[in-house]
C-alpha cells in the first residue's frame, strides 16, 4: 500500500543515527533577523538555546541551527557574521542536547568551526555546489552530511526553475552532488539527501517532487530528508496565508512525506509536527500490516 522505507545507519562523529524504523523530526532553529517563517526571529543566543531545548522536550530527534536566511531573493551575510550568529548557540547546546546537533551552512570555514564545537551533522542547501571544499571538511571530521538540491543562489534560483521532468532531473542532480562528495572522500554511509522543496522550484515542481519521492528514493538509495515547513509553494493552496500561518498545510505535506517513505522531516513547529508524524506512522504501519495479510491470503 505504501512504498518501502529502507533502513540505514548514518555514522556520526560520535556515534550513529538509525533511520528507517520511523520518520525522525528535525527542528529548525533560525538565528537570523530575517527568517521568512518565524513570527519572532532572534539573534539572542540565550533565547535560541532555550528554544532548542524546548524542541528537544517536544520530541525533536535532531536540532538544525541556521545563521543565514536562504529564502528567495536574499543576499549572503558572510562567513564572519554567520559564525557570530551560530557559534554562541552551538557552544551553549553541544553539551546540553541529548540529540544530534546540525548546522545549516554551505561554507567550509563555518563547518570546520562548528564541528570543532561538537556539531555532528552539516546541512548544505547547495549540495556542494557553492563550496565543494565543504566535502573535505566533512570527510576529515567524520560528521554526517545532508545534500540538498537547488540551482543557483538564493537571489537567482527561480530563474533556473525550468524542468521537463522534475523528479528525474532533481534525482540526477542529487546524484551529481553525491559524486562530488564521494570524490572528496565522504563516506556514502554518512550522507542524507534532500530534494529541496521550494528551492529553485515553482509550486508545481515542489508538489511534483513531494509526490515523486518513492522513485527518487529508490534510485538514490540514500536516506531522504524533506523540508516543507511553512514554504511558499503552499501559499496559493492556503488562500495566500503568510508563512507563520502555514502549519496546517505543513502538516499535510509532512503526512504525505511520511507515507511516501521519508526518513526525516525538517519543521518549525516541532511539538505539533511530532504528533502529525506519529499518526502518519500508524497509518503506514497499518497499511503494511494490511498488505502483508493480503499477500498471505493470496499465497
Distances (CA, A) of 248 to 159, 237, 251: 29, 11, 5
List beta partners, residue 12: 15
* Number of domains into which the chain is organized: 1
Which residue segment(s) compose the domain that 222 sits in?
A: 8-298
Instruction: Give the three cell numbers for residue 264.
Output: 526525516
**Which residues does 243 contact at the CB level (< 8 Å), separation at least 6?**
36, 37, 230, 231, 232
What's the 3-state SS for 128-173? CCCCCHHHHHHHHHCCEEEEECCCCCCCCHHHHCCCCCHHHHHHHH
pTM, 2 dp: 0.94
Half-sphere exposure of residue 299, counting CA atoms within 13 Å on the CB side? 6
Strand 264-267 and strand 121-124: the pairing is unpaired
| Collapsed DSSP state (helix, strand, coil) of residue 265 | strand
Domain presence at residue 77: yes
C-alpha dihedral sign at 147, 213, 200, 231: negative
Longest C-alpha distance within the chain, in Å?
64
**CA-to-CA distance for 169 and 99, rounded, in angstroms?**
34
Q: Which of 231, 235, 284, 285 is the catalytic position? A: 231
**231 catalytic residue (yes or no):** yes
Domain presence at residue 1: no
Domain presence at residue 2: no
Domain presence at residue 91: yes
DSSP code at position 31: -
**80 catalytic residue (yes or no):** no
Q: Which of 230, 246, 266, 284 is the catalytic position? A: 266
**CA-to-CA distance for 180 and 48, rounded, in angstroms?**
33
Domain presence at residue 68: yes
Domain presence at residue 142: yes
CATH code at 59? 3.20.20.20
Domain presence at residue 3: no
Domain presence at residue 176: yes
- Note down pLDDT in tens along the chain; length 299 residues: 899 999 999 999 889 999 999 999 999 999 988 666 666 667 799 999 999 999 999 999 999 999 998 766 677 889 999 999 999 999 999 989 999 999 999 999 999 999 999 999 999 999 999 999 999 999 999 999 999 999 988 778 888 899 999 999 999 999 999 999 999 999 999 999 999 999 999 999 999 999 999 999 999 999 999 999 999 999 999 999 999 999 999 999 999 999 999 999 999 999 999 999 999 999 999 987 656 555 445 55
Amino acid at each position: 500500500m505504501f512504498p518501502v522505507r529502507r533502513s540505514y545507519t548514518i555514522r556520526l562523529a560520535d556515534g550513529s543515527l538509525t533511520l528507517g524504523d520511523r520518520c525522525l523530526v528535525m527542528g529548525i532553529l533560525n538565528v537570523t533577523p530575517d527568517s521568512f517563517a518565524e513570527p519572532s526571529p532572534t539573534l539572542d543566543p540565550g533565547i535560541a538555546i532555550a528554544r532548542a531545548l524546548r524542541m528537544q522536550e517536544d520530541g525533536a530527534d535532531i536540532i538544525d541551527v541556521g545563521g543565514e536566511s536562504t529564502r528567495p531573493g536574499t543576499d549572503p551575510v558572510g562567513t564572519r557574521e554567520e559564525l557570530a550568529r551560530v557559534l554562541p548557540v552551538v557552544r551553549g547546546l553541544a553539551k546540553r542536547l541529548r540529540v544530534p546537533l546540525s548546522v545549516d551552512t554551505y561554507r567550509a570555514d563555518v563547518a570546520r568551526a562548528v564541528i570543532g564545537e561538537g556539531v555532528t551533522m552539516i546541512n548544505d542547501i547547495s549540495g556542494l555546489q557553492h563550496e565543494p571544499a565543504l566535502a573535505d571538511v566533512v570527510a576529515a571530521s567524520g560528521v554526517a552530511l545532508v545534500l540538498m538540491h537547488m540551482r543557483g543562489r538564493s537571489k537567482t534560483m527561480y530563474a533556473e526553475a525550468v524542468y521537463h521532468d522534475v523528479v528525474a532531473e532533481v534525482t540526477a542532480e542529487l546524484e551529481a552532488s553525491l559524486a562530488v562528495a564521494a570524490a572528496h572522500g565522504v563516506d556514502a554511509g554518512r550522507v542524507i539527501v534532500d530534494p529541496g522543496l521550494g528551492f529553485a522550484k515553482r509550486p508545481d515542481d515542489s508538489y511534483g517532487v513531494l509526490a515523486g519521492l518513492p522513485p527518487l528514493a529508490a534510485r538514490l538509495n540514500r536516506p531522504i530528508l524533506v523540508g516543507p515547513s511553512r514554504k511558499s509553494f503552499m501559499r496559493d493552496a492556503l488562500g495566500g496565508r503568510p508563512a507563520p500561518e502555514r502549519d496546517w498545510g505543513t502538516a499535510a505535506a509532512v503526512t504525505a512525506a511520511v507515507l511516501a517513505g521519508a526518513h526525516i522531516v525538517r519543521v518549525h513547529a516541532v511539538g505539533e509536527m511530532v504528533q502529525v508524524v506519529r499518526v502518519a506512522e500508524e497509518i503506514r504501519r497499518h497499511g503494511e500490516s494490511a498488505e502483508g495479510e493480503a499477500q498471505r491470503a493470496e499465497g
